[in-house]
Structure 1
Amino acid sequence: MTCRFWTSAVLVVLAAAAAYRVLVPPPAEFAHTPLLDEYDYVVVGGGSAGAVAAARLAEGAPDARVLLLEAGPSDSAMMEVAIPAGCSLLQRTKLDWQFTTQPQAASHGSMHERRSRWPRGKTLGGSSSINYMVYVRGAQDDYDKLWGVSGWSFADVLPFFRKSENYVARPLAANETHRATGGPLTVSKPQTSSPLVDAFIASGKALGLARNEDYNGAGGMMGIAHCDLTIKDGVRASSAAAFLRPALARAAAASASGVFHVRTFAHVTRVVTETDAASGKVRAVGVEFADTADSDGVASEDSPRRVVRATTEVVLSAGAVGSPHVLMLSGIGPEDVLAAAGIETVVDLPGVGRNLRDHLMVPVRFPTKDKASGHLITKKRAESLTTLLKYLVFSGGLLTTNGLEGTAFYSTGTSDHLPASVPDVQIHMIATGGSDVEAANIGTKPEFVAQGVIDDPDRWQAGGINFLPIILHPKSRGAITLNSSSPFDPPLIQPNYLAEQADVDLLVAAVHDTLKLAADEAYAEWIDASSPTTSPLYESAPDGAAAGVSYWEWHVRNFAVTVYHPVGTAKMGEPGAAGTVVDPQLRVVGVDGLRVADASIMPTLISGNTNAPCIMIGERVADFILSSLQGR
C-alpha cells in the first residue's frame, strides 16, 4: 500500500511538471517575433517598469504600434521563476546580468577582490522575475520631502500604486484610501505563518515596535509585520505575469488596427538620434539592437544588428545600470566620460550615471534550538516529495514562501539628513541559517565562509536563523561609468559602499537592535540569543581586533552586502537643476522623443524594497504619454 501510494505520488509530480512544460510557453517564445521597420513606441527593457509601460501603452492606445525589446530570454526559460521558493536559485543564471562592482575600499572585505555581485533581471519581468517579491511603497515623506519633485508627491503617486494593485490580504472597506482591489498585480501575505516569524513580530516590543500588518496602508509604515508579497495563488506575480502576458492576450484578441510586439534576445546597443541642422534640436528616432537569439543571449561584436524606428517616442526602461549605460553609449551623458571612451557627445548631460545609491544589509545569524528544526527553510525540506505534492496539487506549503516573511521599519532618530517621519532602518528575518547557495550568490571568499556551511550545508541551514538589518538612506553614493565604447562590455559600477562613517555607525546600531530582538522572550524557546555566530578571523584580521575595531564594525565592513536596490543614475528633477537627467514627466533633458522610466529616475532611495515604486513609475510614464495623446 505504501509503495503504491508513493509511486502514485511520483506520477502526480511528474505529470504536473510535464503539464507545466506544455501549458507554459517555451523559453524561445518571442525570440523570433517578426518585426516592423517602425513603431509608434519602442520600449527598451521588459522589466519591472518596462513591461508595465508597454502593456499600458498597448492597452490605452489600441491603434498604436508598440514594441517591447528585452535583452534576455522569456521568463518561462526557468521553471524556478514561477515558484516563490526558487528565488535564490535564479542568480548567476542566464536570467541574471551577473554584474559585479568595482573593488570597495571601505566594505566587502570578505568578498572576492572586495567586489559585490549585483544580480539584475535579464528576462521578461526583469528583476521582478528574480527578486524576493517583497512589496513596499515607501513612506509618504520619501516622496513629499526627500524626492521633492513637482507632480511626484505621495498624493500624486498613490493613485498609480492603487491602479496596479489587487490586495487580497484582507477585505477592503468601501472608503479605503490607500489599498485597492481589481488591479493586475496581486499583493498578498504569506499563506501560513511560521512560529519563527510570529516570534519575530512579537519581539518588536524590545524596540518599541507595534505590529503593523498594513505598512503600505493609511497608517504609515513604522512597525513590524509579515511582508506584503507579490505572490498570487502560490505563484510569483512578476510584471511579466501580471501586466505583460494579459496585455498581449488582449491585444491578440482585439479588433483594433494596432500591434503589440515583444522581442526577446534583443540587446539594445544605442538610442538612434537625429539632430536638426537648423535648430540644433536632438530627437530620438529609434534604437539599434543586437539579435542574440541564435547565441542563447550572448551578445558580441559579431551579433547581427538591426535598427527599428520610433515615430513618436522611445521609452528607456533598462534599469539603474542599463539605462545610464545605453544613454552614454548613445552620446548622451557627461562629456568627459564620453570622450574618455571615444564616444562623440550628442548631448552633454552631466547627471547620467551619477547619484548611484543602494541599500546595504548585513546578516546576523543565531543558532536555533531543537524545537525550531521543523520550521526552518532547508534544502532538504524544500526538495521533499511531501513539499512538492503540497505545491503542485494544492499550490501551498513551503515552496510558496520567499523566505523573507517578516520585516520591520523604524527610525533610530540619529540620521540627521532625514525627517523623523521616515524610517532609516529595516530588518528582515529569514527562517534559515544560510547555505552554500547564498554564499555563492554573494561571492564570499572561502576563508570567510563558515566552516559549518562547508562541512554540512544542510545541517548549517537547519541549525540557525538570520536577521538582516538594512540601512535605508545611506549617505554614501557612487556612479556608473563606461568601461569602453563597446555595448557588450559591462559598465563600471562603483557604489562606494560605507564610504561615509555615518553609514557604518547606523548599520552597527541596527545590528545591536537585532541583538535586542533576538534576546526578547518571544524567541526564548527558539534560538540561543547569547551566542550570535561570529567569525574567528576577527582576532587575527589586520583591520579587526589588532586595529582596535569593535567586532560588529569589523563584521559590517566585511560582510555587508547589497539588497539589490540600486537607484538614481538618471535622476529626475526640475529642468536646469544640478544633476537632472529627466524632467518630472520623465523626458530626457535635451532630447525630444526620449523618456526614461525605471529605478534610475528616483532622486533618492525609498524606505524599503524598490520593486513597487518601479511598477508605479511604469504606470506613470504610460499615463504621461497617453495623456499627451488625449490633450490632457
Structure 2
Amino acid sequence: MNEKSRSGPENGVASEYDYIVVGAGSAGCALAGRLAEDPSVTVALLEAGPTDHHFSVSTPVGMALTVQKPGPRNYGYYSEPQAGLNGRRSYQPRGRGLGGSSSINGMVYIRGHRNDYDHWAKLGCTGWGFDDVLPYFRRSERNLRHAGRQDDPWHGGEGPLHVSDLVTPNPFSRRFVEAARQAGLPLNPDFNGQEQEGAGLYQVTQRNGERWNTARAYLHGGSANDPAHNGSRKGLAVLTDTQALRIVFAGKRATGVKVVRAGVEQTLRARREVIVSAGAFGSPQLLMASGIGPGAHLQRLGIDVLHDLPGVGENLQDHLDIIVNKQVRSTDLYGYSARGFARLLAEVVRYRINRTGMISSNFAEAGAFVKSRPDLAEPDLQLHFAPALIGGQNIGSRRKLGHGYSCHACVLRPQSRGHVRLRSADMRDAPLIDPMFLSAQEDMEGLVSGVRTIRRIFAQPALAQAGGREMLTEAFGPDSTNEEAIRAFVRANADGVYHPVGTCMMGTDEMSVVDPSLRVRGIHGLRVADASIMPTLIGGNTNAPAIMIGEKAADLIRGTMKGTPRPHPRVAFSDAGYVRQ
C-alpha cells in the first residue's frame, strides 16, 4: 500500500485500495462516499469523465447544453435502429464525469411506487421491499420541507442530497396543474408521500436554485454551515479522467481494475472488493469486456470467457416517451424570438444576483401520475410538463417555432425488453444498445392513452385560455378518436426518456447477474451497484432509486465485514480528501 504507482500520471495515486468503485454516477458517488466514512478503509472511485466543476452542471438550465448532444459530460449514445420506431435510432444520453447522469438530468426527485419494490421482493430479492428501502431514501435525503427533522415517516431532513421545491415555478407549470385538476385528476403536493397518483409540481435535487448532483452530495468537502457534507473522508481517492479497461482476477476472484489515465495503462489493486457502478450500459459492458457474460458472444469478439453468465446485458428496460407540443406566444415560455432573447438576458442577470427565475428551472417542472384505467392498483402513466417546446424531430426548425410548452407521457412499467452487447472488447468503444422499443403491444396501448390524457389536459380552461395551437397532434381531432393516427405519431416521434435499467439483473434465477447482496454470481470479490441491478423498472424517474441502491450497497458491503476489521496503511491524499485533476 505504501508503494505508489510509478507509471501513473499523479504522485498522489496509490496502487492499492480496500475498495475500488468503478463509475462516479448517482449510485457510485453515494456508495463510495458512504464506504469512505469508515476511517479505517481506503476507497478509489474511478470516473472516465471530468470533474463536475462547470457552470453547465451547477446551473439548472445548463442541461440544455449537455443533454442534447455528445460532449465531455455526455456519452450521447444511440441505439440500434428500432423496428417499433420506424427504423429510427433512439438517442441515449448518459452522464460522463462526476455525478454521472445526476449532472445532466432533469433533477426530478421521484422514488417510484411502493408496489414496485414489493414486487422485487416477491421475485426473490429479499431485503428490497419498500419497507426495506425506505430508510435508505430517507437517509440520503435532505428535504427542504423537512430540514433538520427526523420524525417524518416518508422523508429525511438531514441527508446529503438536497431536495427542494422549485424556487421560481413557471406560470404555465401552475396552469398545467390546474388544468389537470380541471380534467379530473386529484392534486398531489408530494409524489413521494403516501399516495403517488395525481398532479402537482415536482420536487427537484437543487439547493438555493443550483443543481445538487451526487458529487456535491457525497464527495465534495463540507463546511460548518452544511454539516450534511462530510469533509472527513481522508481515505477516498476520486480519480477522474480514468477509463476502466477491464477487471483483473486471480482465478475467479476480482483483485483489481486495469485502467488508462493520461494515455498510461496501470492496474489498481483492491484488497477487499471491486464494485461496478457504471450504469445500465457501462456495467454490463465492463463485465463482458472482463470475460463475464454470454459465452458465445464473448468468444465471437475474441474475449476469454472467465464465467459464462447469460443474463449480463439482458433485461434492458426504459421508459418510452411521447411528447405533445403546443405553440403559444408568451415570453413566460422558453423559445426563439427577439422578445424572448431580451427576457432571457434579464433572467440571466436575475439568476446571477439571487439564483431565482427562469435559469433555475429544471424544465420538467410539473407533472402527474395517472391511471389509464380506474381498476389499476397504481398509476401506469407519468406526465412531465415543460414550459418549452421540447423533443419532436418532426416539428420543424426551432428558430421558426417561437415559444410554446410540451408534455411528455411515458408508460411506467413497459413490457418491452432489450439488451446491451459489446461492439468490441475495448471499453472506449460505445456498446451496442437495443431497447427493442414497442416490441410489446401493451406499451403502444399505454402511449396512445398518454397522448389522449395530455390532449384532454391541454383542452382545459387553465391552459386553453392562453391560446396557441398543437403541433402534429391537432389533426387527431378534439376527441382523439383516430387511434391509427396516434399510433403512427408515436412510431414517428417517441423516444426513450433516459431511464435505462435492468442489464445486470438482481435475482435468484439463471438469468440473474447479482444476488440480493449485489454479488456477481459465480465470482468472488465483485459486486454491481447501480440501476442495472433493477429486476423491473420502477414507476418514476430513476435518479433517486439509483442513489438508494448506492446507499444500501454500502451497508451490504459493510455488513459483510462486521467482526472482521483489518488494519491497513493509510495513503496520503490531498487536503480536499480526493485527488483533483
1:614 has 2:546 as partner: yes
Report how far residue 487 of structure 1 moved: 2.3
Correspondence 1:318-329 to 2 at 5 A: 318-329=278-289
Classify 1:103/1:239 alpha carbon distance in 2 versus 1 (closer, same or farther; 3 Å).
same
Cα contact 2:149–2:156 (8 A) shared by 1: no
Report how far residue 383 of structure 1 moved: 7.3
Cα contact 2:448–2:483 (8 A) shared by 1: no
Partner of 2:79: 101
1:135 has 2:109 as partner: yes
> In structure 2, how many angstroms separate the alpha carbons of the residues matched to 1:31 and 1:208?
61
> In structure 2, how many angstroms separate the alpha carbons of the residues matched to 1:382 and 1:398?
13
Classify 1:253/1:362 alpha carbon distance in 2 versus 1 (closer, same or farther; 3 Å).
closer
Report how far residue 88 of structure 1 moved: 1.7
Cα contact 2:209–2:360 (8 A) shared by 1: yes
**Aligned partner of 1:223 among 180, 198, 207:** 198
Partner of 2:209: 234
Report how far residue 206 of structure 1 moved: 4.8
Partner of 1:186: 162
> In structure 2, how many angstroms separate the alpha carbons of the residues matched to 1:271 and 1:40?
15
Cα contact 1:412–1:424 (8 A) shared by 2: yes
**Aligned partner of 2:430 among 490, 497, 505:** 490
> In structure 2, how many angstroms separate the alpha carbons of the residues matched to 1:486 and 1:407?
41
Partner of 2:152: 176
Partner of 2:260: 290
Render the CA deviation track for 1:578-631: whole Å, top value 9, x for unaligned. 311111111111111111000100001110100000000110111111222224
> In structure 1, how many angstroms separate the alpha carbons of the residues matched to 2:58 and 2:501?
26
**Aligned partner of 2:449 among 509, 520, 523:** 509
Partner of 1:534: 472
1:560 has 2:516 as partner: no
For structure 1, the residue ranges without an aligned partner over 5 or more in a row are 1-29, 276-281, 294-302, 539-547
Percent same amino acid at aligned positions?
39
Report how far residue 452 of structure 1 moved: 4.8
Cα contact 1:366–1:527 (8 A) shared by 2: no
Report how far residue 35 of structure 1 moved: 1.3
Classify 1:428/1:147 alpha carbon distance in 2 versus 1 (closer, same or farther; 3 Å).
farther
Give the letter aligned to residue 199 of structure 2.
Answer: I
Cα contact 1:317–1:323 (8 A) shared by 2: yes
Correspondence 1:590-609 to 2 at 5 A: 590-609=522-541
1:48 has 2:22 as partner: no
Cα contact 2:317–2:416 (8 A) shared by 1: yes
Q: How many residues align?
A: 542
Cα contact 1:32–1:263 (8 A) shared by 2: no
Report how far residue 87 of structure 1 moved: 0.9
**Aligned partner of 2:367 among 401, 407, 419:** 407
Give the letter aligned to residue 211 of structure 1.
Answer: L
> In structure 2, how many angstroms separate the alpha carbons of the residues matched to 1:382 and 1:42?
49
SS at match of 1:566: coil
1:65 has 2:39 as partner: no
Report how far residue 32 of structure 1 moved: 4.1
> In structure 2, how many angstroms separate the alpha carbons of the residues matched to 1:131 and 1:355?
23
Report how far residue 265 of structure 1 moved: 0.9
* Structure with greater helix percent: 1
Classify 1:229/1:177 alpha carbon distance in 2 versus 1 (closer, same or farther; 3 Å).
same
Cα contact 1:147–1:602 (8 A) shared by 2: no
Render the CA deviation track for 1:252-298: whole Å, top value 9, x for unaligned. 975x9x621111111101111111xxxxxx1100000111x4xxxxx
Instruction: Report the TM-score when normalising by structure 2.
Output: 0.88
Report how far residue 193 of structure 1 moved: 2.8
Cα contact 1:248–1:260 (8 A) shared by 2: no
Render the CA deviation track for 1:203-260: whole Å, top value 9, x for unaligned. 223553211111101x221111100100100110000011111379999975x9x621
Cα contact 1:147–1:604 (8 A) shared by 2: no
Cα contact 2:168–2:360 (8 A) shared by 1: no
> In structure 2, how many angstroms separate the alpha carbons of the residues matched to 1:553 and 1:141?
29
SS at match of 2:81: coil
For structure 2, the residue ranges without an aligned partner over 5 or more in a row are 1-7, 477-481, 565-581
> In structure 2, how many angstroms separate the alpha carbons of the residues matched to 1:527 and 1:31?
60
**Aligned partner of 1:422 among 378, 381, 385:** 378
Correspondence 1:324-339 to 2 at 5 A: 324-339=284-299
> In structure 2, how many angstroms separate the alpha carbons of the residues matched to 1:395 and 1:123?
24
Aligned-residue Cα RMSD (Å) equals 2.5
Report how far residue 502 of structure 1 moved: 1.6
Classify 1:253/1:366 alpha carbon distance in 2 versus 1 (closer, same or farther; 3 Å).
closer
Give the letter aligned to residue 235 of structure 1.
Answer: E
Correspondence 1:98-497 to 2 at 5 A: 98-107=76-85, 109=86, 114-146=88-120, 148=122, 149-169=125-145, 175-217=151-193, 219-246=194-221, 254=232, 259-275=235-251, 282-291=252-261, 293=262, 303-368=263-328, 370=329, 373-378=330-335, 380-381=340-341, 384-413=344-373, 420-434=376-390, 444=393, 448=394, 450-453=395-398, 456-457=399-400, 460-462=401-403, 464-497=404-437
Render the CA deviation track for 1:130-164: whole Å, top value 9, x for unaligned. 11100100000000025532100000000000001
Identify which range, 183-192 or 610-619, moves more after superposition. 183-192
Instruction: Report the TM-score when normalising by structure 1.
Output: 0.81
Report how far residue 451 of structure 1 moved: 3.5
Render the CA deviation track for 1:146-198: whole Å, top value 9, x for unaligned. 55321000000000000011111367977420111011111111112322111
